[in-house]
Structure 1
Amino acid sequence: MNQQPVDVNERDIIQSIERGFAVLLTFDAELPNPTLAEIAARTRYSRPAVRRILLTLQHLGYVVGTGTRWSLTPRVLTIGQHFAATHGIVEIAQPHLLRLAEATQESASLAQLDGIDVVYVARVQVRRVLSVAVDVGSRVPAHATSMGRVLSAWAPADQVAAVIDAGLPRLAEKTITDSVTFRQSLHDVRRQGYAVVESELEDGLLSASVPVWDAHGDVVAALAYSSTVVRITAERVVAEVVPLMLETSDAIRRDLAATPTTRQTLAPNSRDGFY
């Protein structure tokens, strides 16, 4: 299901919270242990402002300072834990992903659209096929992935426009960079019910995705399979893998329909996911 953003007046935005998340998001594979100066440079906030934000986050237990460098603490994982606990599809999909991975001997994933990116929300990794490590929470561009193609195909027009307006940069040999061609690819995905993308995110990467529907007929996620052109052809993926994926997607849909609509929530005094 594609949630529509709520119209918000600029006066209702709490800038300190916005800045706090901006600082947290500077911690990544390139800057796992940044200095205050590096965070200030990336966020373009003043050093005194970054210092206050870091000290606040340290007080809350989300970061820790060692010498001149800062790092995240395990407490940040609780944000993801709360997402999983309140979005039943993650728990429901996991055993289905495992069975799909076992049947294909390739990685299986569940992803959702977040702005112009696709975010992995569940994953069973059999072997690494991307040059970078991919795990739950990883983000990839929507325009160059089979997951993004599927999610965009059933997304509202304004979300598709946002993906296009952000630019369609060439990331690999066959990346679609033309907006007309991109829109036509979304039409094709809706018509055939799946997407197969080859060498658009990375040269040699081959992936397939199908939509996951809920009981109300909304697309709530994309189910994905990934391999390489060395191990399988796109034609074989369509003939052999896509039918398994469609069966898996339908099984997830049935389980979603059989699950109570009240979402699971964490107990007020539950542990934060580490001991």
Structure 2
Amino acid sequence: MAQVKIHFLAFCSLFITSAFLCNAQVPSQHDQLRISVWAEVDAFPGLFGDEENYEQLRSTQNSVPQNQDGNSLTKTDLFSTAITRTKQVAPFLLNGMINGWTFDYTPKDNLRGVSEYFELAFIREFDESYNPITYHDPEAVDGKLFSWAYCNRTMVQQLDYERWNSITNPKVHGTGQGPVYAGMDGIRQAVAEAAKNAIHEYWRRKIKNKPKEIWGKLLLVGEPRIYISEGRYTVDLDFFMQTDKIVEYTQY
């Protein structure tokens, strides 16, 4: 009986330790942001301006690709399309997590003949002189280049995040899609649709009568999830939402 009790206590201790380690591995977004970014590649990844990354990528491949003349591609040729896309996607998402967006939303109202309108704009443009991005652990898998993008918040941005992360700003969730053929514009379209859907679903449950217009701000939080489904970029996103004003149809 004593032996069984010892085994049980050891199991509980292991479980608690494992749970602690799992929680410790979840990065805090207060000081440093880390997001997983991927982009489609034609054949090989390129270079993030880092010799070590290039050698790491090259060592995982069976051969060095060649151009139409039969010459080996240079380092700057390798994965150049994926590198360019990665360096578009990463600052776009990180700006949503650091500065956020303003939004102006008019829900569709068939009874009143009102068409849906939604506008999403960054509060301020991303500035890499304040928030430099570094890319780590690039890996080519199944025709995609995966990497981790890191970015630190400034002290002022940390205080701003603390303001966002309060009970007065609810966390909302939305999904959206955009065409893959549109490239980066397809990702922007998917994010805008996810933001609109998040706002719509939240206020649909809170307001009995459909509002005329909603203004506010959004801050992207958590791990942005982007994947391809049926030829469309699909995003699965969480936001903090600050509602600045709601205009009802009875207001003049």
User: Which TM-score bucket, shorter chain as reference?
Assistant: under 0.3
User: So what's the TM-score if we normalise by structure 1?
Assistant: 0.23
Higher strand proportion (structure 1 or 2):
2
Higher radius of gyration, 1 or 2: 2
TM-score by length of 2: 0.25
